[in-house]
Amino acid sequence: MKIDKNTINKIARLSRIKLDDKESEDYIKDLNSILDWVEQLNEVNTENVEPLSNISSSILPKREDVSKDTNSSEEILENAPDKLEGFFAVPKVVE
């Protein structure tokens, strides 16, 4: 797999990152070399090998269904650039 200009633009758009031409070129180079490096894994024959999802053989920890009163509104909104009456206020999202 090769990363080209179109792919980089698509990734940038999906990530909501604006790249200028020079940055695009740099990222194309970087990402390609990362992919090349990972490609080496293709040399290993993985036929009939189950994908490994868990190296620690631990199991998914679960919690009981107990709700904790967070009363969070002040703390949660502290970092909001804009807020009103307990709501986050963001630029209008029109569907």
Size of the site for another protein (CB under 8 A): 36
Instruction: Find the shortest distance in angstroms from Cβ 68 to another protein.
Output: 4
Residue with tokens 């990972």, as numbered in its chain: 38
> Per residue in 54-90, is it b (16+ CB within 10 Å) or e — as a string?
eeeeeeeeeeeeeeeeeeeeeeeeeeeeeeeeeeeee
Question: Per CB under 8 A, which region of 1-9, 21-29, 34-42, 76-84 contacts another protein?
Answer: 76-84
* Contact status: 46 vs another protein (CB under 8 A): no
Binding-site ranges for another protein (CB under 8 A): 10, 14, 16, 53-54, 58-73, 76-77, 82, 84-95
